[in-house]
């Protein structure tokens, strides 16, 4: 007798292979068999006729580093079918925090992911952070990238200047230690201070360390607007120079005058003499700190210095001048679900709240999104957080991707015939697991794989989270199983928290 038997579902296994009707047996936390399992008995049988059975979604682009400590049930992620989250994206990491780091300054710098101000940060190393996370027992599996911001905060502080060769070596040492401890790779966020002050020599030095471990380097590019292609070219160049596998984060082109450049960016990726891929989420708006719109020099010295500077009318004039050719229109920038009135309101908000103001910015094209979604090198990542509408993380008006990314892909883009179900599932499961360099069966619905799997109703699946009312769970996610334990049962959270802190396979070359 096995633990769980899912009978008669339409199985899509995450490889891109055609869907087929089959039974799935789960026991001892693993998938035991897939096929015609008539005659097999189980402690629990789920009739899945007419429904989709697929691997759990591997969210390669998550910012739940702190959210999961506050919301270990991982409500907004697990309820859309995410069973693994890759933390630490966009350079916005929370470790390592060696003694010389000004932890308060780093916390302000990564304000975008600081969703629960009541949380303590008791860790120093990445291993310490992962211990804290494991003790919180999240419902989802996690992997962690090392953020470029903590590396720079530890070594160069918050000054607007490139690192010296000695400082590059010290950052490389910190990075290597975190990779030894099991980090999945490195991420940078070249719009976020102090990572935005890094030059290409620094990026190449860090990429070379990542390459030695065979891990991934995820890039929030310096510019997704007028400089998109230059920025993609830089990531490709660093990847080629270092041999580092590279993931371009949330590939998009912002600002109407840049529409159409995503196809050109994809051609640069294809032409790369290196393994370069990208992630994307299926929305026509992005989200980041409002302060990210400021020119880099305005962040010199960290958040308190930036806020003080914004009270100086001459500084405001310089920023207004820098904004003269901006790609965005103010009414397309929402704060708390409301369009901004103009630059004065934006500057006042940043001066008052620093990096703690999140914006949602429109200005993307559906054609660009479709080009990214259709490309085989592009996988899905939510760029969101695990939020709980009833807890401290349920405040404000965040981007709806934290609740609806994956159901939106299935309802809107598969539903309209833009992607096949097999390809969509591959982009959410097998492809991101492969990008991360996880073991062969990760992200697949195959005998022997960890039993992270979903039963979805494709007739009713839909994201119900909107830009004005984001804190809403999707419809159509019937059953979510993590490591063989049912977490979402008939659409409701069972309270189970069976996730594991995962580390990539240890393969180090010297």
Would you tell me which residues interact with Zn ion (CB under 5 A)?
A: 89-90, 383
Least CB distance to Zn ion at residue 61 (A): 6
For 233-388, strand residue ranges (E) read 245-248, 276-280, 286-289, 333-335, 338-339, 358-361, 378-380
What is the number of the residue whose Cβ is closest to Zn ion?
90
Coarse DSSP helix, strand, coil percentages of the chain, rounded to the nearest 5 percent: 35, 20, 45
For residue 425, give the nearest of 75, 76, 52, 84 by alpha carbon: 52
Nearer residue to Zn ion within complex by CB, 153 or 218: 218
Nearer residue to Zn ion within complex by CB, 90 or 205: 90
Nearer residue to Zn ion within complex by CB, 87 or 90: 90
Nearer residue to Zn ion within complex by CB, 288 or 421: 288
Quote the CA–CA distance of 177 and 426 in Å, as a whole number. Answer: 32
Nearer residue to Zn ion within complex by CB, 14 or 194: 194
Least CB distance to Zn ion at residue 65 (A): 11
Quote the CA–CA distance of 73 and 371 in Å, as a whole number. Answer: 34
Nearer residue to Zn ion within complex by CB, 32 or 383: 383
Nearer residue to Zn ion within complex by CB, 59 or 383: 383
Quote the CA–CA distance of 80 and 463 in Å, as a whole number. Answer: 8
Least CB distance to Zn ion at residue 250 (A): 6
Q: What's the DSSP call for residue 222?
A: S
Q: By the 8 A CB rule, do 59 and 382 touch?
A: yes
Quote the CA–CA distance of 281 and 213 in Å, as a whole number. Answer: 28
Nearer residue to Zn ion within complex by CB, 368 or 383: 383
Q: By the 8 A CB rule, do 140 and 192 touch?
A: no
- Cα-Cα end-to-end distance for the chain: 48
Least CB distance to Zn ion at residue 281 (A): 9
Q: What's the DSSP call for residue 164?
A: P
Report residue 56: phi and psi, to 5°: -65, 150
Q: By the 8 A CB rule, do 37 and 102 touch?
A: no
In the block, tokens 């760029």 appear at 383
Least CB distance to Zn ion at residue 149 (A): 12
For residue 290, give the nearest of 301, 280, 300, 299 by alpha carbon: 299
Least CB distance to Zn ion at residue 183 (A): 17
Quote the CA–CA distance of 406 and 237 in Å, as a whole number. Answer: 32
Nearer residue to Zn ion within complex by CB, 8 or 398: 398
Least CB distance to Zn ion at residue 380 (A): 13
Least CB distance to Zn ion at residue 280 (A): 12
Quote the CA–CA distance of 210 and 275 in Å, as a whole number. Answer: 13
For residue 401, give the nearest of 89, 16, 185, 119 by alpha carbon: 89
Least CB distance to Zn ion at residue 220 (A): 6
């Amino acid at each position: 007798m096995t633990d769980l038997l899912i009978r008669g579902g339409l199985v899509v296994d995450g490889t891109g292979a055609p869907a087929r009707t089959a039974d799935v047996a789960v026991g001892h936390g693993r998938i035991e068999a897939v096929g015609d399992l008539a005659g097999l008995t189980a402690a629990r049988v789920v009739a899945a006729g007419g429904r989709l059975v697929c691997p759990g979604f591997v969210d390669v682009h998550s910012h739940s580093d702190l959210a999961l400590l506050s919301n270990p049930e991982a409500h907004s992620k697990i309820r859309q079918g995410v069973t693994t989250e890759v933390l630490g994206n966009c350079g916005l990491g929370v470790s390592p925090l060696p003694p010389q780091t000004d932890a308060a300054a780093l916390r302000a710098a990564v304000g975008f992911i600081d969703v629960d101000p009541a949380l303590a940060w008791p860790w120093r190393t990445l291993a310490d952070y992962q211990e804290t996370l494991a003790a919180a027992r999240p419902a989802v599996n996690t992997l962690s990238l090392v953020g470029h911001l903590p590396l720079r905060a530890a070594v160069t502080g918050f000054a607007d200047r490139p690192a010296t060769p000695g400082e590059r070596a010290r950052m490389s040492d910190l990075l290597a230690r975190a990779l030894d401890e099991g980090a999945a790779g490195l991420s940078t966020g070249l719009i976020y201070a102090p990572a935005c002050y890094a030059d290409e020599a620094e990026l190449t030095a860090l990429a070379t360390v990542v390459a030695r471990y065979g891990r991934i380097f995820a890039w929030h590019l310096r510019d997704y607007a007028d400089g998109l292609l230059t920025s993609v070219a830089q990531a490709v160049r660093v990847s080629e120079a270092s041999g580092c596998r590279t993931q371009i984060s949330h590939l998009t082109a912002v600002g109407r005058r840049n529409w159409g450049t995503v196809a050109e960016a994809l051609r640069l990726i294809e032409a790369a003499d290196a393994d370069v891929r990208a992630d994307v989420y299926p929305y026509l708006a992005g989200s980041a700190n409002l302060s990210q719109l400021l020119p880099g020099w305005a962040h010199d010295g960290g958040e308190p210095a930036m806020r003080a500077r914004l009270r100086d009318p001459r500084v405001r004039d310089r920023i207004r001048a820098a904004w003269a050719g901006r790609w965005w229109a103010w009414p397309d920038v929402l704060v708390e679900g409301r369009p901004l009135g103009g630059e004065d309101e934006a500057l006042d908000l940043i001066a008052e709240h620093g990096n703690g103001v999140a914006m949602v910015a429109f200005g993307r094209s559906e054609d660009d999104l479709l080009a990214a979604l259709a490309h085989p090198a592009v996988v899905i990542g939510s760029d969101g957080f695990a939020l709980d509408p009833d807890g401290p993380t349920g405040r404000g008006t965040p981007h709806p991707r934290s609740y609806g990314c994956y159901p939106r892909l299935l309802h809107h883009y598969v539903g309209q015939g833009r992607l096949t179900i097999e390809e969509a599932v591959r982009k959410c499961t097998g492809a991101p697991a492969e990008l991360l360099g996880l073991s062969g069966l990760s992200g697949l619905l195959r005998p022997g794989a960890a039993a992270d799997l979903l039963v979805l109703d494709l007739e009713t699946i839909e994201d119900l989270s909107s830009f004005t009312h984001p804190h809403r769970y999707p419809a159509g996610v019937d059953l979510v199983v993590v490591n063989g334990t049912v977490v979402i049962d008939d659409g409701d959270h069972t309270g189970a928290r069976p996730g594991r802190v995962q580390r990539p396979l240890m393969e180090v070359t010297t």
